[in-house]
Amino acid sequence: MAERYLYEPRDYRGVSLWKNVTDQQWNDPLWQRRNVIRDVAGLNAVMRLSEYQQSEIERTLKELRAQGKEAMRITPYYATLIAEDPFHPDLLPGEDGANRLDPIFWQAVPTPAHLLFPRTGAAGAMNEENRSYGAAYQRYPNRVALFVAENTSCASYCTHCQRAKSLDLSASITREEINKGLFYITANTNIDEVLVTGGDALMISLDRLKYVLEQLCRIPHLHVIRIATRVPVTLPMGVSDELLKLIRRTINDSDKYVYFMTHINHYHEITPALARAVKKIHHYGFSIRNQTVLLRHVNDNLATLAETLRRMLWVGVEPYYLLQCHREKGLIHFITPIQVGKLLIKHLQGWLSGMARPVYAVNVEGGGGKVILMPSGHDTMHVGFPLHNRVSESVASVWTWDSKIIDNYEALGRASRSEFQAAVQLMDKFIGRSGVYKPSVIIVDKKGRHLATTHKAPLPDYSPRDKSIAFGYQVFSDDLPLTNPNEIAAELDQQYRQSPH
């Protein structure tokens, strides 16, 4: 019996497209991959879309294809996580569901929002070529990413994917590039950790995966192998015993430790199928950690973020990073201001286990790597006011791990006032109501000078009672949950005496 906190997908047999599909077919990862949704006709068979919404999604797909992108791919399983009416989702109390969209729809279906706000500042911040040798990409002294799969290998595409080459049909990863990457890892004895990634490291052939792992296991100074995959989330039936046995056998005689790295952004992705996949990964002796991206319209809400992080921990996935959405073309509508992210993390402190709280960080342009954005309750400057309650500027100075200083770093995209107003008008019509699409962008004049930041204030502020409601805790006194059982010791003694112990 599924745990109550696990999200139940829609029954696929209730979707006309799959009404004659057998359970055996549905649970076959090859069937899932052969029947991915790629077009509006497929979407329309799974969810309710108006003619205007269909035409706008089709327009978006055509434009992305004209740019050389394979625009959409959704596994049937992942599609059943989307509400039949994605514009009026059924969310938990405290999530402001009336003013939100279905979080899986927003992550999986390209909308006209992807064609808006092209002025993103520095482009190609996640580009691999300028820091690569073969398939090895390096930003830090002791670890590298080894790209073994094309970006187009993923079972389902994420509309918020942050790689500049994402979904580029011209991208490929050859055996020679992998070999050159392996050669570099062998030659650089500082490297003790490798992230095997792509695309999706579990979407390559078993032969290629076995080859890569065998070669990595032969490198004496390498100790940790991380396998990056979203298969447990979008194609959980792909986490097979055959796959895990191969990984276990390949590394069994080595001293390497394998971690799985996955990507969960909303508790609707934490389903019985995902829980089974995670349990299977644990059964073979591997840990699994998660990188969540802070996404507007998906998880930029205290109740949503908290529910996602704790359910993740409950199924055995350790929250690792909460990543600021990167400023890339087509992603501007996903970006939450960094100060809002800091406040969300601040309000998790004490209310969630430390094991459930990720590190909030941003990947900055120019190869600076991750910069930690965690707030602090420790004021050594004695400035006399809580910094977390002050509205910040839209720019910041950044100091990176390698002593670089980036002045005037902007986390948000840019737009003219008229461009912003036209974008909101377009998306309000697409969504069918106003007050949902609220992008934060920097408004600039014709010379690029900063005028204002949209949706900058008020900053989210939560009282103890607000947080008790958001976390589903019973309030005891002073608007706080019970945290000291000694305060009700007499009552507990009476209940204890009456209990069967």
In this predicted model, what pLDDT tens digit does every residue of 228-267 receive, in sequence order?
999 999 999 999 999 999 999 999 889 999 999 999 999 9
Confidence of residue 34 (pLDDT cuts 50, 70, 90): very high
Of the given ranges (211-225, 296-310, 451-465), which has the lowest mean pLDDT? 451-465
Contacts of 158 (CB under 8 A, 6+ apart): 107, 108, 230, 263
Res 126: pLDDT: 43
pLDDT (tens digit per residue) in 316-365: 999 999 999 988 888 999 999 998 999 999 999 999 999 999 999 998 86
Instruction: Answer yes or no: are the C-beta atoms of 164 and 127 closer than 8 Å.
Output: yes
Res 256: pLDDT: 95
Res 385: pLDDT: 59
Residue-wise DSSP of 356-420: GPPEEEEEEGGGTEEEE----S--SS--SS-GGGSPPPSEEEEE-TTS-EEEEEE-S-EE-HHHH
Res 166: pLDDT: 46
Res 390: pLDDT: 60
Residue of 458 and 72 predicted with greater confidence: 72
Per-residue HEC secondary structure of 456-485 comes to: CCCCCCCCHHHHHHHHCCCCCECCECCCCH
Element (H, E) at 89: none
Residue range 394-415: mean pLDDT, rounded: 84
CA distance 77 to 47: 14
CA distance 422 to 312: 38
Instruction: Answer yes or no: are the C-beta atoms of 411 and 337 closer than 8 Å.
Output: yes
Buried b (16+ CB within 10 A) or exposed e, 236-257: bbbbeeebbebbeebbeebebe
**Of 243, 69, 226, 89, nearest in space to 158 by CA:** 69
pLDDT (tens digit per residue) in 126-182: 444 578 899 999 989 999 999 999 888 899 999 998 754 444 555 678 999 999 999
Residue range 399-414: mean pLDDT, rounded: 85
pLDDT (tens digit per residue) in 169-191: 556 789 999 999 999 999 999 99
Is a pLDDT exceeding 90 seen at residue 62?
yes
Amino acid at 168: D
pLDDT (tens digit per residue) in 271-290: 999 999 999 999 999 999 99
Q: What is the pTM of this model?
A: 0.93
Q: Is the dihedral of CA 304, 305, 307, 312 positive or negative?
A: positive
Amino acid at 371: V
Residues β-bridged to residue 444: 450
CA distance 445 to 75: 43
CA distance 287 to 309: 16
Res 128: pLDDT: 44
Amino acid at 18: W
Res 120: pLDDT: 78
Contacts of 379 (CB under 8 A, 6+ apart): 387
Query: In degrees rounded to 5, what are phi and psi of residue 175?
Result: -65, -35
Residue range 453-468: mean pLDDT, rounded: 82
CA 493 to chain centre: 46
Give the chain's mean pLDDT: 90
Residue bearing tokens 């969300």? 344
